[in-house]
Structure 1
Amino acid sequence: MISLIAGNAKESQAIVPLLSSRISSLLASSVEDPSCQKLIARALLCPFAVLLAARGPELLFPADPFRYMLVYFVGVAAALVTLPAAISLAVASLGRILARLGARLGGPGGLVAGRWMSAHPGVTARLVAGLAIGIGLVGQVQVNASRLSEPMVEAQATAERIGTSVVTLKAPQDGERFENFAAALPPGVDVAALSEPDAEGHTTLHAPCDVLTRLQLGCVARQEVTAAEPDSRLTDLAVWATPGGGMTAVPGPVDEVPAARLVLLSASGGDLPLPELTGLAYRHLSLSPGVEPLGGGWLVGAAERAQEADWAILLGVFSVIFLGLAMAFNNAGEFLRFSRAAAPLSVLTGRSRLHFAAAGRAVLVPLLIGTALGLVTHYWLATPMTTPLSGGSVSLTALQIMGTVGAVLAISGWAAASVLSAVQARSWRPRAD
């Protein structure tokens, strides 16, 4: 038969579908996966678990943070456990489609790999489990590391609105120190003072008439600062500098008022030179002047959380790489069995590209599908963590990096499997039945 195939190309092309169909049938019938029913059951539970994690907390406990997070984490755990089974079921369905196309078009690579994918969903589940679960876990770590408290979110919103155009610092008790500090300030910096809050939490802002005029308040004897002020810096100052959120503006010289804190405002509305002002405060006021923009302490906490999220992404990428490599080595034996069964095809037909086609469908496609579904599922699962109650955010950079890592692992696994299959095919020899 080998000489016949080698001597007549047309007859060889006619034998390819028959030979590949026979070998793929042997593959399908030689190995029975006893966990197929369990895989199907877990796959059917996956969409319900994703729905529980994505919508359950908001529908069941929208105002209870503890139960909100409890329902969420239960749904996430169930989704990650059942996700590999759902992916393997999808790949098995895709395998049946590839097998039909291979049989119809006479493509042995698609026929054999398609039958293998549909007959061994458990192998596919083990192949993609580490990658899909790794993406989900890393995504959860990143989202939880990015969670900000409500004051942190408000501080970031304030910084986006007014930047560093308003700076507060401790007021000195010594009038001479204040005079030296005020004289050393650069041009374009206005000075005001905040008194101690009263019993109701209200604070009084003392500033010269020209400063109040630039703030669009006017030189009026006494007026309340409201949220409708044209200059939003006044509203933000009232929110951050007064416990009760109420503030009254009074015209008058700053150095004659017993103040709790000084307020430096940009006359033009732009950002103040914070490093220069900090140096002047240390030089003329005290060794701990407490110079900071509005919400500065909470901004520091938000920046620390951002660093934690960046570390989570960095370490998580390495975790996904190691998990993917471990699952690839763990499933090398399964592909060895597949490549031994497919070796006669390339030898008898002389088609060396068969290894790349079969490995692409048996290794590359499942890993790419697993990566894509893992990223999409993580994005859905992260939705409840991005609400104001949770304060988290999804990092697009993390999604891009994990998608790139998954694609690189899939291509690397495809190349390794193709080479391994070609090496085994060279050592294959026909044996008598």
Structure 2
Amino acid sequence: MRPHALWRQLLRIGLAAGRNSPGGRLRFAALITAAAVVTLVLMSCLAVIATYDGWDRRDVARGVEIARHGDSPVVALYKRAGDSVGTRPHEVVYIEPKSPQASPPPGLPRWPEPGEAFLSPELVRVGEGEGITRRYGKFAGIIDSSGLATPSERLAYVRPAVTGHHGWSKIAKIGSARSTPMGDTLNRVPAGQLLSAIGFTVGGVAIVLLVVAARCGSSSRDRRVRLLTALGGNRWHLALVNLGEACIPVVIGTLLGSVPYLLMSLWDVRIPLIDQVVGSADLRAWAWVTPMVALAGCGLMLFVVVALHLAGIDGGGTRPRVFADRIPRWRLYAGLLGLIAIVTTPYLPKLTSFLAYIAGTTLLWGMLPSAAGAVIRYWGNSAASFGRWAGRADVLIAGRWAHARPGVVVRLVAVMVIGLGVITQAQVWTSRLGDSGQNARALQRELHDSVLVVTPQSITPASVDAFTRSLPKNANIFLVNTAKKPTEPSVLRGSCEAMRSLGIACSSDGDHMTGGDARIAILGKFIGFGGEIKFREGNVSGNTQKADQIAVVSPPGTTGLNARVKETANRAFGLAQVKRPYDGWILGADRLVNMADWVKLLTILTLIILALAVAFSSAAEFLVFTTAVAPLAVLTERRRFLLGIAIWNLTVPTVIAVAFGVCVAAWQGSFFISLSKSGMFSWSLLAACAAGALVLAIAIGLIGGTGAIRATARWRPAAD
């Protein structure tokens, strides 16, 4: 036979291999799933690159270049400020055109008129409940996507109706790569970090799924390898058979994995948990790369399948190890080394401590299933002894099986045990706000909107009167003369009624600071350099020359006042910043919140892929289990006997391993909180995960048992 004819025949053998057997069908489904997941991960990385590329281009197009010299031409005046809807910040760009020939910023159809504001679609959507379209003046329209970093960016362009522009910058041109970041760009994660996070988390477990899929149906494949070897086949012949076996499911999976990217290039899609929209236009700009990415994913899958199976030509087989002798000691030592690294982190320098904690956690949880397997191996001996003493054949057989094959249980419990560690660590890390953040949360729960500080562009008696008339009856105001030096007190001037609302005794002369409540303490920290403040009785609509801020106080626990005061202040003063004393800490934690959301999303995706891996691995083990147990049916007609073997061999060891993981998760979570002195450990989350793992352990035993019962009806003695 000619070589090319032989190769075609070997490919046909691979294409037809195992199609009608349970192992062949399982292998086919596993390869499709693994190829789809690997392609999805690669396409996700391409989507990140495409999104950041479009992001950078739009950032340059809307960037402003400040006029450096007094005689430079000025196209507009420019001022940036922060605001928020709820506790989520957004950026407000105040702009005043100075050149009639100048084009407006990208995304705007025209320059806004005095008292008008253009808002991004996302800001309009999330701010509807707070009346965001009325906050900055007349709503002029929507900012087009060409002027936004991402479709989900919260941004406002405002032209306030003010006469003075103190503190504004002069713009030489719009469209510069030298401008400072604005909007979402201020808090975005660098592209390299995001790609690394996706690669190490989702990409890592995708490789695990790939290996599991490649090894599915290994018993029938090993028989085929031995036959090819006996017939004189070499590595190339084996590779062609394996290539023929894997090419169809891999191609199908690759095509399925490419579909989400193509769909997202047609419509904008909001990422779950992240609350961020991926722009379809950015993905379309890079759509020409998708065939190359798909081919790379397909080639990687076929390479792994062929490379893993080439070892079988020497008789080693492709089946996963069951550790029939013993679990390798290096795994236990590596886990112990990880535990030591975690425990010693308090005594190391800051950066070294962080790296040691991450490395130690990875080692500990990566090797914990093997440690659980060592415990299960010893448990198998004890269970077998108990079965022999009690006359329980099912316990005796299951104990011997667990002692001889602890690697089976290690693979079954790996996802559950490692998943417990990933979930609990992600929960603890994302609960960290730091001391400032936790104090801010406490102030938010105590004060709500009862203390607000307004910083107008300018203060006049008329504007103060207009502002005061629009406030609720239970709100009182103080004019603030902020101290210029830390050694001087800031002075708050208000009516006796306003002082009495704070619990301050009022008299006709001098400064007042008798009594008071928590609102006074926070005003002192926020207004007066963290130092002393004084209250004076006076008419708030009188002398406003020295006032630079206005404090609005209302009864403790007042809610819903923040948005109303912001709208009222902008209407009365033309331009005003309104802040709650704790806003700086909470809004400043937005980057941490965004990172925490990414951690949650990647954790969930990681666990889903690991669950797929354990599902295929378990299904493969069930095939081995049912084939091995079926001959025992000739010894008894009791179905409970086979079900008992499955429960004792699969469920009980899994429960032991999960209990092992729960204890370690609880210890490490508590240790981390005591180490960092921040965050909280969710016992309810751990209990829910443990309950879910327990249900899964019972399901594994029941599925294995019922599968063995069904297999007994079909089993016939064979010379295999």
Q: How far apart are 1:110 and its partner, in Å? A: 1.5
2: CA distance, partners of 1:384 / 1:285? 52
- CA distance in structure 2 between the partners assigned to 1:305 and 1:347 by the alignment: 63
CA shift, 1:359, in A, is 1.6
Establish whether residue 422 from structure 1 lines up as the match of residue 698 from structure 2.
no
- Alpha-carbon separation, structure 2, partners of 1:242 and 1:224: 14
Q: Do structure 1's residue 36 and structure 2's residue 321 form an aligned pair?
A: no
Code of the aligned partner of 2:549: R
Aligned match of 1:406:
693
Task: Identify the residue that residue 369 of structure 1 maps to in structure 2.
Answer: 656
Structure 1: tracts of 5 or more residues without a match? 1-30
Structure 1 range deviating more: 411-420 or 187-196: 411-420
What one-letter code is carried by the residue in structure 2 that aligns with 1:407? L
Deviates more, 1:302-311 or 1:418-427: 302-311
Q: Deviations over 1:241-300 (max 9, x none)?
A: 343x1022130333424233211111x43315423333322332334x332322123323
Q: What amino acid maps onto 1:222 in structure 2?
A: D
Q: Which amino acid aligns with 1:402?
A: C
Instruction: Write the mapping of 1:196-215 to structure 2, written as runs, cut at 5 A.
Output: 196-200=482-486, 203-208=489-494, 209-215=496-502
Selected match of 2:472 from 186, 192, 207? 186
- 1:113 corresponding residue in structure 2: 398
**Per chain length, whose mean CA-contact separation is higher, i.e. which structure has more relative contact order (CA < 8 Å, sep 6+)?**
1
Hey, what's the Cα distance between the residues in 2 that align with 1:155 and 1:388? 21
CA positional deviation for 1:374: 2.5
Specify the SS of the correspondent of 1:382.
helix
Q: Which residue in 1 is equivalent to 2:511?
A: 222
- 1:94–1:325 CA distance, 2 compared to 1 (3 A): farther
Letter of the 1:282 partner, please give it: N
Residue identity in the other structure for 1:366: P
Work out the CA distance in 2 between the residues paired with 1:153 and 1:173.
34
Residue segments in structure 2 that go unaligned for 5+ positions in a row: 1-320
CA distance in 2: counterparts of 1:331 and 1:272, whole angstroms = 53
Q: Structure 1 residues 248 and 89, CA, compared in 2 at 3 Å: closer, same or farther?
A: same
SS at match of 2:577: coil
- TM alignment of 1:42-191, pairs within 5 A: 42-43=331-332, 46=335, 49-50=338-339, 52-53=341-342, 55-58=343-346, 60-61=347-348, 64-171=349-456, 172-191=458-477
Equivalent in the alignment of 1:25: none
How many residue pairs get aligned? The number is: 392
Matched, 1:386 2:676: no
Quick one: percent identity of the two aligned structures?
27
Answer yes or no: is 1:264 the counterpart of 2:264: no
The secondary structure found in structure 1 opposite 2:484 is coil
How far is 1:326 from its partner? 1.0
Contact 1:184/1:280 (8 A) holds in 2: yes
Match of 1:282 in 2: 570
- Counterpart of 2:326, as a letter, is C
1:148 to partner: Cα distance = 2.0
Q: 1:350 Cα deviation (Å)?
A: 0.7
In structure 2, do the counterparts of structure 1 residues 56 and 180 end up closer, same or farther at CA, with 3 Å as the change threshold? Answer: same
Change in 2 beyond 3 A, CA 1:205/1:403: farther
- Residue 277 of structure 1 aligns to which amino acid in structure 2? V
TM-score (norm 2): 0.49
For 1:250, what is the secondary structure of its paired residue? strand
Residues 328, 413 of structure 1: 8 Å contact kept? no
- Secondary structure of the residue that 2:482 maps to in structure 1? coil
Counterpart contact for 1:313–1:398, Cα < 8 Å: no
> What CA RMSD, in Å, does the superposition of the two structures yield over aligned residues?
3.3
Contact 1:99 1:113 in 2 (8 A): yes
SS for the counterpart of 1:76 is helix
CA 1:249–1:259 in structure 2 vs 1: closer, same or farther (change >3 Å)?
Answer: same
Equivalent-residue separation in structure 2 for 1:263 and 1:417 (angstroms):
69
- Conserved 8 A contact 1:166-1:272: no
Q: CA shift at 1:187, angstroms?
A: 1.2
Equivalent residue for 1:351?
638
Deviation at 1:156, TM superposition (A): 0.9
Are 1:167 and 1:263, in contact at CA under 8 Å, matched by a contact in 2?
yes
Question: Could you say what secondary structure the match of 1:191 adopts?
Answer: strand
Asked whether the 8 Å contact 2:478–2:492 carries over to 1, the reply is: yes
Name the stretch that deviates more: 324-333 or 77-86: 324-333
The alpha carbon displacement at 1:51 in A equals 5.5
The alpha-carbon deviation at position 129 of structure 1 amounts to 1.8
Secondary structure in structure 1 of the residue aligned to 2:438 = helix
Q: Which residue of 2 aligns with 1:234?
A: 520
Q: CA–CA distance in 2 between the matches of 1:302 and 1:241?
A: 21
Q: Give the corresponding residue for 1:24.
A: none
Distance 1:56 1:35, change over 3 A: farther
8 Å CA contact 2:327, 2:407 repeated in 1? no
Q: Is the 8 A contact 1:343 1:428 kept in 2?
A: yes
Q: 2:531 aligns with which of 246, 249, 273?
A: 246
Change (3 A) 1:202 1:286: farther
State TM-score, norm by structure 1. Answer: 0.78
Q: Give the direction of change, closer, same or farther, for the CA distance of 1:402–1:322 in structure 2 (3 Å limit).
A: farther
Which shifted more, 83-92 or 396-405?
396-405
Taking the aligned partners of 1:395 and 1:286, their CA distance within structure 2 comes to: 47
2:370 match: secondary structure: helix
The equivalent of 1:19 in structure 2 is none
Distance 1:180-1:77 versus aligned 2 partners, 3 A rule: same
Contact 1:169 1:292 in 2 (8 A): yes
